A = this chain, B = another copy of it.
Amino acid sequence: MTIKSDQDNSPCKDNCPCMDCCPLGSALSQIGGKWKIPILCALFQDGTTRFNELKRKIRGITNTMLVSSLKELEEEGLIFREQFMEMPVRVEYSVTDNCRDLMPILKQLAYWGAQVHTIK
């Protein structure tokens, strides 16, 4: 672990500016892109959700982007995918514990974003 102690208030590693294998960069890339945050929020708020249900809730997302975003989120360990071998097929998505750990931090970010230019 190359991250400094809590006394250091820099968000990055010793060898900042955070290029290459920066944990902050990797974290941001995991939730980056146009649709991942909406997907995570939908799953987090409403719990386990099916594919087309998600598509309906997230207004404007295309089939392609929903599929690829879900796949990436699953590979990153943020969401869980369960497929039921019925006819027709049923697939359910839900957030992982790892994702639940992330949410309070994102909430702080949202607070920060909402307060911009209001404190002067």
Contact = CB atoms under 8 A, between A and B. Distances in A.
Given A37-B24, A108-B108, A58 B17 contact: yes
A84 interface: no
Contact of A112 (B25, B27, B39): B27
Copies in the complex: 2
Interface residues of A, number: 52
Contact of A45 (B10, B45, B106): B10
Contacts of A25: 37, 113
Interface of A: 1, 3, 9-13, 16-19, 22-28, 30-32, 37-39, 41-42, 44-45, 57-60, 76-77, 98, 101-114, 116-117, 119
